[in-house]
Structures are given as C-alpha cells and as structure tokens.
Structure 1
Amino acid sequence: MAGGSFGPSGVSKERAGQYQGRVTAYVVISCIVAATGGSIFGYDIGISGGVTSSNGFLQKFFPVVYQNEMHAHENNYCKYNNQGLAAFTSSLYLAGLVASLVASPITRKYGRRASIICGGLSFIIGATLDASAINLAMLILGRIMLGVGIGFGNQAVPLYLSEMAPSHLRGALNMMFQLATTLGIFTANMINYGTEKLNPWGWRLSLGLAAAPALVMTIGGIFLPETPNSLIERGLTEKGKEVLEKIRGTENVQAELQDIVDASELANSIKHPFRNILERRNRPQLVMAIFMPTFQILTGINSILFYAPVLFKSLGFGGHAALYSSALTGAVLASSTVVSIMTVDKWGRRVLLIGGGIQMIICQVNVQLHVSDTYAYPDVECSILVIVAIILGLKFSSDKGLSKSFSILVVVVICLFVAAFGWSWGPLGWTVPSEIFPLETRSAGQSITVAVNLLFTFAIGQSFLSLLCAFKFGIFLFFAGWITVMTIFVYIFLPETKGVPIEEMIFVWRKHWFWRTVVPEIPEADESYGTTLRNE
C-alpha cells in the first residue's frame, strides 16, 4: 500500500470484522512445536534447585556449602548462603539478558525460526559443557551458553506464537509457551528426584538431559513454517500470503493480509526500532514491556522454583522429602497453567491477572461467585505469602526445624501460591507483552521484555539466599507487598486485549481512559505521519 496513510501501528483502520478463517491443525501443530522452546527455560529453572542441593555436586564445586549442610549450622536460614552457589544459578540469566538484546535484530532480519534454531543449538552446547564439567570455570561457561539459548528462545517463541495464532485463540496458543515451561519444571523436578539416588554423579545426568528439549526445539525450528508477519516484513509477500492461507484454512485472507502489509511497510521504514520504541506513541507498550516481567518476578515465584529443594531442606525436610515437595510444586504449576489456557480467551487477561488467586479461595470454600465479583476480594497470592511468613516467624527458629505438621502446612500454602501464579501472572506475564507491540517495534519490544525478566531473575537468583539469611521469614512479606502493587497496576493501566487482532492493537490504547491521553490520534487522511516515521 505504497504512499498510503499509516497510524502508529502502520494500520490505517480496523478490519477485524472482515477477518476470515478457522483454527487449522496446521497452526495448532506449529504452535505446539514452537512452544517446546519454553521447556528449556522451565527445565533449567527446575533442574537448578535440585542440582544445587545435591551432595555430589556441592562436594565437588562448593565444598564450603557441603560442609554447612553436613554439619549443624548456627542458622538454618543461612546454611546455603554462598555467592558462588548463587552465581551458578544466576549467571545463566545474566547471559540470557545480553543474548535477548542480540537476538532482536536477528529475529527481525532473519525471522523467528532463525532465533529459535540458534537458541536450541546454544542450549545443547551449554548442556554438554555442564554435564561434563571438571571445574567451576567450565561449569559457568556451560551456564552462559544455556543463557544464550534461553535469551534467543524467550525472545522468538512468544512472538512466533502470537503472530501465528488467530486473534480469538491467541491467548490460549501463546500460553503453550508457559505450559511448556511448567512441564519443563515438573520434568526437571522428577529427574532430580530420580538422579538424587545416583550420587555422586547423578547431577551430571540431570544437567546433561537439558539437551533433550533443546534438541526438540532445534529440529522443530528447522521444519516450522515462518510466520506470515515475518515473511512479509522481509519482502516475501507471496510466500507470506501462502502461509497465511494455510494456517487460516481459507483463501479469503485479504483483510488480515492487508493489515500485515500495512504494518510491514511502516516496519521496513523504521531503521532504529529501539530508538522508536521510546517515542510517545509507543509509551503504553514500553511501560507494559518493563512492568509486566518485573512484577512477574517480584511475585517471588522464581525464588521458590529455583531454590525449592534448598528452601525445603532449610525448613527441616530431608533430602528426598525436599525433592518430592519441589516436584509437587512443579505439578501444581503445570496443571494450573492448563486452567489459564482454557479460560484466557473467554474471561480475558485482566480477570485472570486480578482475580486468578481469588479463584483458589473459591475452590477451597466451594462458594460460587460470578467472575465480575472477583475484584472485590484481596489477592490470595499476597495472603499466602503472609501466611508463610507468619508460620516461619512463629514456628521456625534459626537453629531448629519446623515440626512435621507445620512443615506440611508450609508445603500446602506454597502449592496454593504456585497455583495462583500458574494461571495468572505466570503465562500472562509473557502473553501480554508479546501481543501488544506494532510490527515495527515488536522484536525490540520482546527483547526488552525478556531482558527485564532475566535482569530481575538474575537479581533475585543472586540475592535470594543472602536475603533469606538476612531477613529470614520477612523476605516473603517483601514479595507480598509487591503483589498488592501489581494488582492495582493492572486494574488501572492494562486494557483488555482478548480477541483483538495483533496488528490492530493500537486501537485498544486509543480507547483506554488513560492511554488515549498519551497515544496521539492520527487522522486517517493524514499521510504526513507515515512520511515522518520513514524519516526517523
């Protein structure tokens, strides 16, 4: 549409009502294969906690921590407080942060598939290095390569899913990424439970098996179709039209194709997407790209998932019980994500984010409430963390473990927290940012989302053991406070995006009571806007 007029998204008018097509097996299979990229992220989250509590691993690489575990320690909260051990976990995420920014131009120039394949190959190399590590340097190098794989995978996979999925099922198909992540966590926890009996070398098997999901991701990436949006953005319009017709199951795709072409023309005129993303017209998306992943991590979920075996051991559980308890949390997380997949395109993003935890209370007391009533109740994720803090504060001293009954109560409460996260902030922390950006800044926006997520993941991973030692049970009150803030943030600033075509998302911001004062309203006849953007 050369010489046409463009709004801030590259789309001049809403055509959503003209979209045709159906959900085809081709698009579902493509999304499932691509979503396996989430499993490498989840596998590492799950495997790290088990490995760092393995006696064979600690004895070889962190003998000081091993000695603290083997002997009575003056403070149960501090027995695992070691910056080297924390660096083993967190170094991956710092590498992933850098890799996600590098992945942005690659994803834009060479397509989503290229980044998926790069991520898989890097992860395979990292898993091989870690499984065969003979010293700490080799171990950390392997973690860095794993981080590169996660940076590329997390940058490309959510974009791929959002662009392939039809608008009315985009939430569910995009959440396949989070489902794969949770299944990766659960699988890793079960592997940890089995390899814990194979000391002193079982940890090598746990780390080496990370290559399995990465191999699936790499091979799948080779055979996946590229998204129509990426193909058209790179000038392959006819090929993009063919793929669009195939994934929609109809030749009547003109309306959706025109939206993509319009957005692509503007995208190709933008030479500096990271600079353009700072413009006022992209302010709402940038805010969400920063705050959604920040809040996702500040729920405290990664602290529990990273260090679940360590945390449960610190609470007085034995080695097998600790791994069993962490496997249980992985299973709860995976099953609760399925609930989110089934409801996100029916109830919407806001209801799940604001009221997801509340639904767990409803299940407990068997009270039937309308979805609209969920806003009247406090966030149960916050309540659960407060309960954990109270139990630990009253019943868990620095040098004595919890009684059996209170240990079980802590596990139950943590599982309720994990379930609340699993069907709200867990999947939607990835889904919302991946669907809201216009094509010209989509790759850059996703890189910012991944970078912020990994930055805070790194910070929490590196500091949690020290914070647990310093603040004891108070660390859970810290996370609980943030959950209150994030719930209010969503209620005020996040518009509903369910069912909105990805290339027409700009109109959502223009209709929002707050963001419409930020996003400029461009008259359809004003062609100077497109010219202005081309000159930037």
Structure 2
Amino acid sequence: MSSSKAFNSRYIIGISFISALGGYLFGFDFAVISGALPFLRTQFALDPVWEGFLTGSLALGCIVGCLIAGNLADRYGRKPGLMVAALIFAVSSIGIAFSQTLTYFIVLRFAAGIGVGMASMLCPMYIAEVSPAEVRGRNVAINQLTVVIGILITNLVNYFLADAGSDAWRWMFGLGAVPSAVFLIGVIWLPESPRWLMKSGQEERAQQVLNKIGSLEFVDTTMKAIEKSLAGNTAKQSYKMVFEKSVRPAVIVGITLAVFQQFCGINVVFNYTSTIFESVGANLDRQLFETVSIGVVNLVFTLLAMWQVDKLGRRPLMLVGSLGLSVLYIVLAVALQNHFPAGLVSIFVLLAISTYAISLAPVTWVLISEIFPNKIRGVASSVAIVSLWGAYFILVFTFPILAKSLGTYGPFYLYAGICFLGFLFVKARVKETKGKTLEELEENLIRH
C-alpha cells in the first residue's frame, strides 16, 4: 500500500481528463443515433433488419478498432493510439454528415466505430497506468463520466436540432468534428504511460513521468514493482499469451463481465429510446425529451459511482446493479405490455438507467483496466473489449427484430434473466480489487 506517499492530484486528474475526452467521443457516437433514427428511418426507408444493422455497424467498427489499438498500443505506445482515434473520429463525423446513400452511411459509421473502439480500450488503460492505486477506480471512472457527458450533450443538441427539418440528422453527426479536434489537441500534451515506457526499456523517461505524478518514494516503489512484474516477460505480446493457464482465470472474468455489460440490455434503452416511447404513444418531441432525461440521470448517478467506487468497492456495486436491473426490467416489461402512460414508463426507464450508471457502467471498465497482468494488459484488454463490442452488436441488431415479433416489451423479460445470471457470476467469480496496485493484483492472480 502507498497511502503515505504524496501525489500531484491536480496533474493526475488533468491528464486523466484529457485522455478521457476519448470517452466523450464514445458517448457522442453512441447517443447520436438515438436522436437521428426517426429521421434516418425516413431518409433510407429502413426496415427492422436494416435499422438494427445501421445502429450496430458502429460496434463492428469498434471490434476492428480494439484489435488495431491492442497492437498499436503495445508497439508504439498508448499516446499515438489515442491520436489516431481522434483523427478517425473527426474525419468520419464530417463524412457521415454528407452521406447520400445507406451504404455510404454504414461504411462511415463503421469507420467511426474504429475510432470508438480504439478509444474505449486505450483511454481506461492509459488512465489506469498513470494513476496511483488509491485513486485508480475514481480516475478510470472519469472516462465513464466523459462518456455520459458526451451522451447528455449530444441528446440536448439532438433535441434542439429536431426542428431543423429532414436534414437535421446531418448536423447531429457533423458536429462530432468539434470535440474530436479538442481531443486531438489535448492528446499532444499527454505524457506516455510510464508502464509502457518501462516495458519498452525507456526507464529514464518513465521516471520523469512518475516524478510528475508523485513523490520520490512513490516513484521508487512504483518502478521496482513494474520491474518485478516485467521480469522474465520480455516476449512480444501475442493473443496466444491471453489463453495461457496462468492468466486464464482473469481473462475469463474480463470477457464475461464485458459481454454481460452489454447483454444486460441497457444499451437498447439508450439507442432505441424513440422506439420504446413510441410504443406507448409518445410523439417525437416527447421521445427526444426522454433521451435528455436519460442523459441527465445517467450523469448524476455516474458522479455518484465515481465517489463510491474506491470506497464501497467494485464487487458490491456490481452485485447491487445486476440484481437491481433484473427486478426493474420485469416491472418495465409489464408497464410496456400494459401500455402504461409514458410518464410512468419514464420513471421505470430512469430507475434502470440510474442503477446501471452507478454499477455496471463504470465498474466493468474499471475492472477490465485492472485485472490483467502488465505483460498482457494490452492484448487481454483488447480481447475483453472486442467481446464487449461483439455483444453490443448482437444486442442492438436483434432488438428491432425481437421487438417486432415479441412486442417492444418482450426482450426486457430476456434481459431480466441475463441480469440475474450475471449476479450469480459476480457473486461466484469476481474478487475485490479496490486499493491494490496493479502489481499486487498480478501477484494475487499468480498465487491463485
């Protein structure tokens, strides 16, 4: 433990926030589709299959982005990877705004997904690697905070653009170029990850970065711990290493949590808000207003999660979240099935959002950034997050099809069952990680 060591909190939070701007872009691309879908259905005459594929095409790009980022981050460093992600965001946002055909739109949304996928992997990893153990959970949760700020601001912009005519969706997507440029400029000022510098034999540069982060005692302790964890691990990272027996338990937990975070079903609520509220008779203005309400509640409870993740711990939050969602989905399904008023449906939707925002949303990313050993953190994070985006694609692709055949309420019974299974998995397999250094967690993994 290193509680006696002094840290440069302002500097650590500053670089964490700059890195986490990638999360803002993730939130933008994630939320923009919800406001744009009512316009895109008309623009491209979408049926349920194409609506699902158009929404999910982002996730397919994310999978490619994660695979690129893992290799790029381990070969050239975390910082160049973040810069590439920012450039892809900027170019794809402008390109989507000028789309004339469905094919062109989907190709560019796939490209945007590559940027999202890279950022979704590199931002939490980078923050975990520059943060002292005592504040790592809170700092990695900053990435989730910027995701939800991105969602809220995008939903607000969508709401105000809704009256701009049939081409409103072009402005919704095109404005993504602005935060992309801010992120790119910010990344230029970031230091490289000290753990990556040590791994690539640049001890002096690593020491310079650590000197800015904390006291001499912290620098000395951290460098020794990193050296120890890297000893004998000079082999180049490969995906084969992820499935070695010694690290398999951590990889299984990481992949399962990543898939569960998506199959828990909440992203259906984020992406298909308009569909859900249309099913209980809400007009377009009310549908877009609900996306804003969701964004506000999401932000408030993410802030609460950041405050509690290093106090309550990861495991209790995951247990409460998974069981809470299971119960809320059954209530929501009954409300939708019986055509409760939109205001009442909204209450159950917002309760589900708040439960997710304080638990599965930030804590899954924190755990993925922590539980893998230094020697395979890049490729193991890549595998876990590829699994996450694969699950996201399946979720959002299948929802319009399931909603058409079962009714909008039907899939929520399925998601309730998945959440209960997730609760049982967390109870059985997930260990607490709060307050431990990345190297201590690695030692515990080896012992078990």
Would you say same fold, with TM above 0.5?
yes
SS state of the match for residue 434, structure 2?
A: coil
Distance in 2 separating the partners of 1:382 and 1:59: 35
Instruction: Look up the match of 1:445.
Output: 380
- Would you say 1:408 and 2:343 are equivalent positions? yes
- Taking the TM superposition and a 5 Å limit, the aligned residue runs for 1:30-429 are 30-54=15-39, 57-62=40-45, 65=46, 81-250=47-216, 253-267=219-233, 269-356=234-321, 379-393=323-337, 395-396=338-339, 402=340, 406-429=341-364
Q: Number of matched residues? A: 447
SS state of the match for residue 495, structure 1?
A: coil
SS state of the match for residue 229, structure 1?
A: helix
Deviation per CA, 1:467-490: give whole Å up to 9, x if none. Answer: 111122221010001111111111
| Structure 2 unaligned blocks of 5 or more | none
Q: One-letter code of the match for 2:298?
A: L
- The answer to whether the 8 Å contact 1:21/1:253 transfers is no
- The answer to whether the 8 Å contact 2:246/2:446 transfers is no
- Would you say 1:492 and 2:428 are equivalent positions? yes
TM superposition outliers: structure 1 runs of 4+ over 4 Å: none
Q: One-letter code of the match for 1:279?
A: E
| Residue 203 of structure 1: how far off its partner (Å) | 0.9
| Residue 465 of structure 1: how far off its partner (Å) | 0.3
Q: One-letter code of the match for 1:485?
A: L
| CA RMSD of superposed structures (Å) | 1.6
Q: Percent identity?
A: 27
Deviation per CA, 1:174-213: give whole Å up to 9, x if none. Answer: 0011111111111111111011110122111100111222
Q: One-letter code of the match for 1:381?
A: L
| Structure 1 unaligned blocks of 5 or more | 1-15, 66-80, 358-378, 397-401, 517-536
Instruction: Look up the match of 1:474.
Output: 410
| Residue 36 of structure 1: how far off its partner (Å) | 1.0
Q: One-letter code of the match for 1:119?
A: A
Distance in 2 separating the partners of 1:222 and 1:423: 32
CA distance 1:18–1:331, change in 2 (3 Å): closer
Deviation per CA, 1:433-490: give whole Å up to 9, x if none. Answer: 1111111100001111210111011111111100111122221010001111111111
| Residue 58 of structure 1: how far off its partner (Å) | 3.0
- The answer to whether the 8 Å contact 1:49/1:310 transfers is no
SS state of the match for residue 347, structure 1?
A: coil
Distance in 1 separating the partners of 2:182 and 2:169: 22
Q: One-letter code of the match for 2:83?
A: I
| Residue 17 of structure 1: how far off its partner (Å) | 5.2
| Residue 240 of structure 1: how far off its partner (Å) | 0.2
- The answer to whether the 8 Å contact 1:23/1:166 transfers is no
Larger-Rg structure: 1
| Residue 270 of structure 1: how far off its partner (Å) | 2.1
| Residue 266 of structure 1: how far off its partner (Å) | 3.7
Q: One-letter code of the match for 2:68?
A: V
- The answer to whether the 8 Å contact 2:237/2:379 transfers is no
Distance in 2 separating the partners of 1:478 and 1:252: 48
- TM-score norm. by structure 1 comes to 0.81
SS state of the match for residue 225, structure 1?
A: coil
